[in-house]
Copies of this chain bind each other. A is one copy, B any other.
Amino acid sequence: MVIDGHPLPLEPRLGHLLKQAQAKLARASAEALAAHGVDGHDLAVLGVLCAGSGEELSQVEVAGRLGIDRTTMVALIDGLEDQGLVRRRRSPRDRRKNIVEPTPEGRDCLHRAERARRAAEHRFLAPLDTETASALVRALTLLAGETPATAE
A: which residues have CB within 8 A of B?
Answer: 1, 3-4, 6, 9-10, 12-22, 24-26, 29, 40, 44, 47-48, 51, 64-67, 121, 124-125, 127-128, 132-133, 135-137, 139-145, 147
A15 engages B25 (CB within 8 Å): yes
One of B4, B19, B125 near A22 (C-beta < 8 A): B19
Q: Which residues of B contact A144 (CB under 8 A)?
A: 16-17, 20-21, 24
The residue of chain B having its C-beta at the shortest distance from the C-beta of A51 within the complex is B9
The residue of chain B having its C-beta at the shortest distance from the C-beta of A24 within the complex is B144
One of B47, B64, B142 near A127 (C-beta < 8 A): B142
One of B14, B29, B127, B128 near A121 (C-beta < 8 A): B14
Binding site secondary structure of chain A:
helix
The CA-CA distance from A29 to B25 in the complex, in Å, is 23
The CA-CA distance from A137 to B140 in the complex, in Å, is 11
A123 to chain B, nearest CB (A): 9
A133 to chain B, nearest CB (A): 8
Q: Which residues of B contact A24 (CB under 8 A)?
A: 143-144, 147
B137 engages A125 (CB within 8 Å): no
